[in-house]
Amino acid sequence: VQLQASGGGSVQAGGSLRLSCVASGRTLSRHAVGWFRQAPGKEREFVGNIRRSAYGGSPNYVDSVKGRFTISRDNAKNTVYLQMNSLKFEDTAVYYCALAERHLAGPMIRAYDYDYWGQGTQVTVSS
């Protein structure tokens, strides 16, 4: 199983980026997919996730990105997206996508809820 996150870059505050997470070896619609980020000197932080389609596929977000970030799927492309709008300096981090092999009853906001990880893509927001 391989996940590849892409789409990062440098943007000014208030700008937008769309990250993509492409999987090989798994059908993403059958799994929960999470987005996490890690800023320098900080722990990896949950950003949001989207449940497997069979469980409604509704996304959840950390409070700090609600209303600005949107997670969606393109099942035909086996891709999950993280649309990031109104970016802030504090959104600067390496962003990772992750796949959970099993469905868990909880909110699945912990890194250990996920079994496979992409390599990360850098997002830099300048103020």
Q: What is the mean pLDDT of residues 20-35?
A: 94
Whole-angstrom Cα distance, residue 39 to residue 74? 28
pLDDT, position 106: 83
Q: What is the mean pLDDT of residues 25-31?
A: 92
Radius of gyration of the CA atoms of the chain, in A: 13
Q: In degrees, to the nearest 5, what angle opens at C-alpha 79 toward C-alphas 75 and 85?
A: 115
Query: What is the amino acid identity at position 124?
Result: T
Helix (H, G, I), strand (E, B) or coil at 119: coil
Given pLDDT bands bounded at 50, 70 and 90, which one contains residue 64? very high
pLDDT, position 7: 98
Q: What is the mean pLDDT of residues 106-121?
A: 94
pLDDT, position 90: 97
Nearest to 100 by CA among 88, 110, 90, 85: 110
3-22 residue pLDDT tens: 999 999 999 999 999 999 99
Q: What is the mean pLDDT of residues 85-100?
A: 98
Q: What is the mean pLDDT of the chain?
A: 95
- 62 has which bridge partners? none
Given pLDDT bands bounded at 50, 70 and 90, which one contains residue 55? confident
- Beta strands (DSSP E) in 39-92 are 45-50, 59-61, 69-74, 79-84
Counting beta carbons within 10 angstroms of the beta carbon of residue 102, is it exposed (0 to 12), middle (13 to 18) or buried (19 or more)?
exposed
Q: What is the mean pLDDT of residues 87-91?
A: 98
Q: What is the mean pLDDT of residues 92-104?
A: 94
Helix (H, G, I), strand (E, B) or coil at 48: strand
